[in-house]
Structure 1
Amino acid sequence: MDRMSEIQTFVQVAESGGIGAAADRLGVAKSAVSRRLKDLEERLGVRLVNRTTRQLSLTDTGKSYYERASQILADLEDADQTAAAVHGALSGRLKIAGPQSFGVLHLLPAVTSFLEKHPELWIDLDVNDRRVDVVNEGFDLAVRVGQLEDSSLIARRLAPVRNIVCASPGYLERHGTPKRPEDLMGHSYLRYSNVPERRIFSWIDEQGRERVVNPKARFVANNGEILQAAAEAGLGIISQPTFLIHKAVEEGRLVPILTDIEWWQLGAYALYPPGRHLSAKVRAFVDHLVSCFGDPPYWDERMPISRGKPVHAI
C-alpha cells in the first residue's frame, strides 16, 4: 500500500472516530482501513491508535502525527485547488454548516448557483440551529447569524442583519398601532427564545441614551418561522430579522411598525478555521456569498427600515 493512502486513511480514522466511519468516507471495506492503519504503524514503528472493543482513540504520538499529517493533506488539496482555480475549476468536497431558517431561505440558493458554476465540486450542507464545532466536526466553514463568540475561528462578515417590529393587519385593527416603543408594553408579544430579552426592544433616544422595554411574552418559540406564522394569525407583535419576514411584509401579511427606530442589529458571518492559507474553494465560496447577499442585502431592498446608527451593532 502506498504511503499517501496510509496517511489519508489514518487522518480519516482520526477525524471520524472509528474504522467503520472512515471506511464509509473512503468508500472501501473496513478490512482495508484496518490493514492500511496497521501497515502505517509498522512502517513508523509506533502505535498511533488505541483500540478497544467499544472505542478508538489516538495515542499521544498519534495526536502529534495527526496534526502534521492533516495539515500536509490540507496543503496538498489547497495546492491542487489553487492550480485549478486559475482556470476557474474547483473540485472536491466542501462541508458547510448553516442556521436553519437563513439556510433554507438564503444559503441554499447561493449554494445552488455556486454548484452551477463549479460542476466538479460537491457540497455537504448541514442546516441546523445548533452551534457546530467547526474544527472537530470537520466543517470547512460555518455560516452564522448573530453575535460572534470569542474563538480561534476566522470570521468574515457577509451581510448586515436588521430587525423589524411588525404585526398582522388584523391584530393592529383590533388592538391599535403602537406609536412609541413604550406602547409595546400594552401589547401581546411573540418572543424568539434564542435571543436575550433585553436586546430585543432596545434603541438609542434623542439624547443618545440606550432605552429598553421588555413587554411580557404571550408566546415563546425557538423558531422564527413559527413566530412569523403566529404573528400572521394575529396572536401578537414580533421583532424578527428582515431576511426572514421580508416577503410577508412585501405581500401585506405583516405590517411594520415603529419604523423610524433602528432596532438592534446583528450580522451574517462566514467562520472558518485559521491556517496559513485559505483553501481556494472556501475562499471562492465566501466571495460568492458576499456577492449574492450584498450590502445592503437584497432582502432589505423594499423594507421600510431606519438607516441610522443601530444599537447593538455586532
Structure 2
Amino acid sequence: MALPDYEAWAIFAAVARLGSFTATAHELALSKPTISKAISRLERSLGTVLFHRSSRKISLSTAGKSLLHHAQQITRDGEAAMEAARDTTHLLQGQVRLAAPLSYGLSHLAPVIADFMCAYPGITVDLQLNDARIDLIEEGFDCAIRIGVLPDSSLRAVKLRKMKGYFLAAPSYLDRSSQPETPADLAAHDCFLYSNHTSPEIWHIAGPNNQTVNVTPRCRFRSNNGDVMLPALIAGRGIGYLPDFLCQNALDSGELVDVFPGWRMGDIALNIIMPPSRLRPARVDALINYLKDKLR
C-alpha cells in the first residue's frame, strides 16, 4: 500500500484557502507547475476531481469540499509535529486565525490581543468577529471564542469562566407595562430575541427549586447581536435576555433591572474551542495560553 501524499494534501489545503494556484505558489515558495502537478497527482490517486478550473477562477468540487477538512487536519498535524520536535522558543512566529463574537471581541478581546502582540512580536493575528457560528475546521481557524452552551462535537473546548444571564427591562417599561410576575408572563410582553440562539422563538427558562418553563415570547425586536439591543432596552421598549459582560454597567447604574432574579436560560460560559487534534503549532498554543490567563 502506498503512503499518503502528504505534500499534495497540504498543497490542496493551501489552494482551497487561497483560491489560486498563483497565490499558493507565492505563499509556499514553490513554482506554479509544482502546485498544479501536486493537485493533479492527488486527484489521480483519489480518482476524483478536487477543483473546477476555468480561465478566470477555480472552485472546490463537491468531493473537494468533503475532503477539505481532512487536508486541513493533515496540514495542522504535520506542522505541529515538526514544531514539537524542535526548540519551540524559536518558532513563535507566523499567523494565528481566531474567531470571536462581535460584541465580546470589541469590548473584552481587543485589548487582550493588543497586549498579546506586544508580548509575541513574531506572531500575527487574524481576528474575525462574527456572532454567527463558524465551522472551525472548514473555514481554517486555529481556535475560537464562544459564549453559551456548547453543542456536542469533536472539537476540544476549555471553559474559561461561567457567565450570568439576566432578563432585563428598564424601570420605565415596567412602570408602563406592569412587572411580570412569572416567566410565563413574558408571552404577553414586548420581548427582544437574539436570533443566533438555537431556537430563538422558544425560551427554555430554569429557576429555583429545579423549576422549568418554556415560553414563546412576543417578539418586538430581533437581532443577531446583543449590543444593539441595549439602547432600546434602556429606552424602555421591552424585555430582553443578555449576558453579564453586555449589561453589567446598565444594571449597576439602575438603567436596567433584573426582572426575574434567580431565573436563567441555560448555563452560559465563556469557552475557547479548538480542532480535535492535541497537536498544535507553538504559536497557537501561545495565544490559547495567553487567552486562558487573561480572560479568566
| TM class by smaller structure | 0.7 to 0.9
Q: Which amino acid in the other structure matches residue 202 of structure 1?
A: I
C-alpha displacement of 1:163: 0.9
Q: Any conservation in 2 of the 1:5–1:36 contact (CA below 8 Å)? A: no
Q: Which amino acid in the other structure matches residue 97 of structure 1?
A: A
Alpha carbons of structure 1 residues 178 and 291: separation in structure 2 relative to 1, 3 Å: farther
Is structure 2 residue 154 aligned with structure 1 residue 152? yes
| Structure 1 residues 132-169: Cα deviation after superposition (integer angstroms, max 9, x where no partner) | 22212211112222332333322222222321012123
Q: Any conservation in 1 of the 2:183–2:213 contact (CA below 8 Å)? A: no
C-alpha displacement of 1:93: 0.5
Alpha carbons of structure 1 residues 257 and 108: separation in structure 2 relative to 1, 3 Å: same
Corresponding residue of 1:203: 206
| Structure 1 residues 146-203: Cα deviation after superposition (integer angstroms, max 9, x where no partner) | 3323333222222223210121232233334445434545532222223325763612
Corresponding residue of 1:224: 226
Among candidates 137, 158, 166, match of residue 135 of structure 1: 137
Corresponding residue of 2:33: 35
SS at match of 2:293: helix
How do 1:299-310 residues align onto structure 2 when only pairs under 5 Å count?
none
Partners of 2:184 and 2:139 lie apart in 1 by: 45
Alpha carbons of structure 1 residues 73 and 179: separation in structure 2 relative to 1, 3 Å: closer
Corresponding residue of 1:233: 235
Unaligned runs of 5+ in 2: 1-5
Partners of 1:39 and 1:214 lie apart in 2 by: 57
Corresponding residue of 1:118: 120
SS at match of 2:173: helix
| Structure 1 residues 253-310: Cα deviation after superposition (integer angstroms, max 9, x where no partner) | 222232233443222222221225233332332232222222xxxxxxxxxxxxxxxx
| Structure 1 residues 43-86: Cα deviation after superposition (integer angstroms, max 9, x where no partner) | 99x6897663253558x99x99x96797367434554378554x
Corresponding residue of 2:276: 274
Q: Any conservation in 2 of the 1:18–1:56 contact (CA below 8 Å)? A: no
Partners of 2:38 and 2:176 lie apart in 1 by: 74
Q: Which moved more, 1:163-172 or 1:255-264?
A: 255-264
Is structure 2 residue 40 aligned with structure 1 residue 52? no
Partners of 1:217 and 1:70 lie apart in 2 by: 42
Partners of 1:169 and 1:263 lie apart in 2 by: 22
Among candidates 247, 263, 266, match of residue 264 of structure 1: 266
SS at match of 1:220: strand
Alpha carbons of structure 1 residues 133 and 263: separation in structure 2 relative to 1, 3 Å: closer
Give the length in aligned residue pairs.
284
Identity among equivalent positions (%) equals 28
Alpha carbons of structure 1 residues 78 and 248: separation in structure 2 relative to 1, 3 Å: farther
Unaligned runs of 5+ in 1: 295-314
Q: CA RMSD for the aligned pairs?
A: 3.9
Partners of 2:257 and 2:60 lie apart in 1 by: 56
TM-score (norm 1): 0.72
Q: Which moved more, 1:147-156 or 1:196-205?
A: 196-205
Q: Which moved more, 1:163-172 or 1:179-188?
A: 179-188
Q: Which amino acid in the other structure matches residue 284 of structure 2?
A: V
Alpha carbons of structure 1 residues 7 and 277: separation in structure 2 relative to 1, 3 Å: closer
C-alpha displacement of 1:23: 5.1
Q: Any conservation in 2 of the 1:205–1:211 contact (CA below 8 Å)? A: no
SS at match of 1:102: helix
Q: Any conservation in 2 of the 1:167–1:231 contact (CA below 8 Å)? A: yes
Partners of 1:128 and 1:247 lie apart in 2 by: 23
SS at match of 1:122: strand
Partners of 2:244 and 2:92 lie apart in 1 by: 33
How do 1:93-104 residues align onto structure 2 when only pairs under 5 Å count?
93-104=95-106
Is structure 2 residue 250 aligned with structure 1 residue 252? no
Partners of 2:167 and 2:115 lie apart in 1 by: 32
Q: Any conservation in 2 of the 1:91–1:120 contact (CA below 8 Å)? A: yes
